[in-house]
Structure 1
Amino acid sequence: MDYKQELITTIHDFGCDINELELKLIDLTKETKTVVLIPALYEEIKRPALHIIRQELGKCQFVQTVIICVYAKTIEEYRETVQFFQSLPQKTYILWENGQRITNILECLRAKDLDLMRYKGKGKAVWLGLGLATLAGEAIALHDADIITYDKSYPLKLLYPLVEKEFGIAFNKAYYARIGENSRNLNGRAVRLFVTPLLSALTDMFGYQNYLRYLNAFRYPLSGEFALNSDLALNIRIPANWGLEIGLLAEVYRNVAEKRISQIDLGIFDHKHQKIGKSTNEGLQKMCLDILRSLFRTLTETEQVIITRDHIHALRIKYRREAQDYTRQYSLDARFNGLSYDRHQEEVIIEIFQQVIGESGEYFFADPSGALIPDWTRALAVMPDLREQLQKAVDEDSQV
């Protein structure tokens, strides 16, 4: 059995009693309020995953508030989203992130020289949602809207280590096995074929760096499921590109002592899959490009590592060797477990990712600062009642 612990605390599932934990968590949440935050596109209410999530969330007596940050193109789409979540027993807020009322608030911020209008995508949704969530509760769990295998144990496992004050945890991240539920494939290509061998190659190149050791301690560093306390939510910058998950870990690294960080086992997990993409402007190629830019930036900021073009050339070579070695191990693991595994296709993807490394380096040299939304404490310094204004906008939108 796996008991392994590293730089951060790993909370294994050794057959924990979910029902017993649920009763304890319900009791604990009498004192500590909890929130589940879900960034979503309108289109996802048409897909099976979000129907499952809604059904399971309805069973979660330990969740007091649910916040959905939705991108809807029309008032009709927004209304349909509100109606979709009306059945939830919790207090539920539908934040229309691109609606006119929210846009007006952000325009006021821009007039005060804090321009958040230029940020798009999931990062903006997460930033807005966290502001509202910190008004509603102390422990905030965030997850995506496309989880096929979702059940009530997911928010329970994310929230419990934060709500149990004796643990002293400020940030808890999920890890899991990405196994296709129907096709029985070994999924998680961006982690398996890019991030894992990349971290090994970077460690070979730059030696012991605490930040690399920290990232290596996470078993699934790209998981979009995590929980954090409200104080941390107000003090971290949210990445506004496809490197959100790895960039968020960098912010946690800067703001939280390692002993207050944990990861927890969600078991077998699956969600919607990204395509590789035809260029570094789309799909997993875009994701990996932004991930590496975030890694370069954080190594420079926190570890005083100087990145040169010679490093980029060497990294491409080392990465490919490391990744090819991992494919042998993945192949054996998959075959033993009766999983589908196309080793040739995996090597083709590695060759594509190798090219991404070169382009990512050039982007980093051109703009080493990256795309980070300023933290909430700065926004509140500009507009102290900003969260209350968001709350009012959400309430007024819901009456439309």
Structure 2
Amino acid sequence: MEYVQERIATLHDLADPAPDAPTDRAAVVLPMTEREYAGLAAERVLSELEHVDPERVVVPLRASAERVGPFTDWLSEYDLPLSVLWCDGPRLTSRLAEEGLNGRRGKGRDVWLALGQALDSEFVVVHDADTKTYSRSYVSRLLFPLSQGYEFSKGYYARVENDRLYGRLFRLFYAPLVAALAEETDAPILDYLSAFRYALAGEFAATTDVARRLRVQRTWGLEVGTLGDAFTLAGLDGSAQVDLGAYEHDHRAVGGPTGLSEMSRSVGAALLQVVEDHGVDPAYETLPRRYRETARRLVRQYGVDAAFNGLDYDRSEEYEQVERYTEAITAPSDDDRLPAWVDSPISPATVAELAEADLRESTADEADDGGAGE
């Protein structure tokens, strides 16, 4: 057990806390895709949220037209003030395209759409729906710093499951890349980015004043991009991180279209965009080499730590991942972040209206199809 403070306020799980927090003034954003439908992890999350009593739950749903109706019916079974925002409906997609906002689809885009719907609440909590060990205390833990005057908080946890170290993208890519950048400069943004114990965690909370000013990465760069704007909006003294305790969720392969190697490209682009935004001019000609050296040093350290704890650890496999991640270290090109809601050409009310119309039409079509087949 440790209680060391970092450059930002660090709230530890020393006594399995479930602190009093303003859950009744908070909107919970819970992004879902078709793969979460009736899944055990998602069912646990929703059942636990029933005991939290949030002001509202917004589910931005990325799903095909034929799945959105059954998905909505399943969600309605839970005793929650829950609304579904279908992110892929034709009216909403068309309007976003007209405003130049459609672009690539991914978790970040879904969360951005949902944040607009959450801004009537005082606080916003965002977290994933694939957490096998989800606890109702997560919401109050994330909100507690905000009740104490902080403006942004982020969850952290140790990714140790099945006698192995996980959190590979953070351990082997993000952390050594930030460390390599910090060799060049002592810019405050790098102090901030390195202060978070699990910077790629999907769980965070913010005041709505901060949430309405976040520019959101469209895909897997969401978590890093959020930290970049949180640094600007809340800063080191307005940010906190919270220990969420035991935590298990789905793991990804390294390769493939949704694997960690592909994710590293989005994360790397977001990270390098953030540091450039804050005045850092990375030496890109040497950065891949310096990243590799730092990452390989960390692999050795993780290997010793795993051996100390009797965990399985494949050092050669981790070295191979480092080589693959090195390919993601290039200067960012297109900046396709979605605008902060305070600057958006489309209002949250318009998004809600279009998404509701899409949802009504889709579910009505499904009902007609079902009736015709009887």
Task: With the length of structure 1 as denominator, give the TM-score of the two structures.
Answer: 0.85
Q: Is the 8 A contact 2:28 2:124 kept in 1?
A: yes
**1:118 maps to which of 103, 107, 110:** 103
| Equivalence for 1:148 | 132
How far apart are residue 234 of structure 1 and its match?
A: 1.0
How far apart are residue 160 of structure 1 and its match?
A: 2.4
Structure 2: where are the runs of 5+ without partners?
365-374
C-alpha spacing 1:394/1:299, structure 2 compared with 1 (3 Å): closer
**What is the distance in 1 between the residues matched to 2:248 and 2:16?**
21
| Equivalence for 2:9 | 9
**2:349 maps to which of 360, 385, 388:** 388
**1:288 maps to which of 253, 258, 264:** 264
How far apart are residue 290 of structure 1 and its match?
A: 2.1
**What is the distance in 1 between the residues matched to 2:311 and 2:40?**
24
**What is the distance in 2 between the residues matched to 1:128 and 1:355?**
31
| Equivalence for 1:87 | 77
| Equivalence for 1:51 | 43
Matched, 1:306 2:281: yes
**What is the distance in 2 between the residues matched to 1:78 and 1:355?**
37
How far apart are residue 116 of structure 1 and its match?
A: 1.0
Deviations 1:138-170 (Å, cap 9, x if unpaired)?
A: 1111111211211211122112222x2xx1111
Number of residue pairs aligned between Structure 1 and Structure 2 = 361
Matched, 1:169 2:150: yes
Counterpart secondary structure, 1:391: helix
Q: Is the 8 A contact 2:38 2:74 kept in 1?
A: no
Aligned ranges 1:318-333 → 2 under 5 Å: 318-333=290-305
**1:271 maps to which of 249, 252, 270:** 249
| Equivalence for 1:202 | 181
Deviations 1:262-306 (Å, cap 9, x if unpaired)?
A: 11001121211122125xx65212222222222322222212x33
Amino acid at match of 1:9: A
Matched, 1:128 2:113: yes
Counterpart secondary structure, 1:90: coil
Counterpart secondary structure, 1:120: coil
Deviations 1:26-70 (Å, cap 9, x if unpaired)?
A: xx456xx11111111122114321111122112213x12111110
**1:239 maps to which of 217, 230, 243:** 217
Counterpart secondary structure, 2:103: coil
**What is the distance in 1 between the residues matched to 2:192 and 2:17?**
30
How far apart are residue 16 of structure 1 and its match?
A: 4.1
**What is the distance in 2 between the residues matched to 1:258 and 1:140?**
20
How far apart are residue 175 of structure 1 and its match?
A: 0.5
Q: Is the 8 A contact 1:122 1:240 kept in 2?
A: yes
**What is the distance in 1 between the residues matched to 2:212 and 2:296?**
41
C-alpha spacing 1:88/1:46, structure 2 compared with 1 (3 Å): closer
C-alpha spacing 1:104/1:175, structure 2 compared with 1 (3 Å): same
| Equivalence for 2:367 | none
Task: With the length of structure 2 as denominator, give the TM-score of the two structures.
Answer: 0.90
How far apart are residue 17 of structure 1 and its match?
A: 3.8
| Equivalence for 1:261 | 239
**What is the distance in 1 between the residues matched to 2:322 and 2:77?**
45
Counterpart secondary structure, 1:173: strand
Deviations 1:322-351 (Å, cap 9, x if unpaired)?
A: 112112221222222232211121111112
**What is the distance in 2 between the residues matched to 1:117 and 1:17?**
41
Tell me which moved more, 386-395 or 83-92: 386-395
Percent identity over the alignment?
Answer: 33
Amino acid at match of 2:154: K
Counterpart secondary structure, 1:235: coil
How far apart are residue 389 of structure 1 and its match?
A: 2.9
Deviations 1:190-226 (Å, cap 9, x if unpaired)?
A: 011111111121112x131111111010000111111
**What is the distance in 2 between the residues matched to 1:349 and 1:45?**
31
Matched, 1:376 2:344: no
Counterpart secondary structure, 2:155: strand
**What is the distance in 2 between the residues matched to 1:240 and 1:82?**
24
**What is the distance in 2 between the residues matched to 1:248 and 1:260?**
14
Q: Is the 8 A contact 1:93 1:394 kept in 2?
A: no
**2:68 maps to which of 78, 90, 96:** 78
Q: Is the 8 A contact 1:236 1:251 kept in 2?
A: yes
Matched, 1:38 2:30: yes
**What is the distance in 2 between the residues matched to 1:293 and 1:121?**
15
Q: Is the 8 A contact 1:119 1:373 kept in 2?
A: no
How far apart are residue 312 of structure 1 and its match?
A: 2.8
Structure 1: where are the runs of 5+ without partners?
none
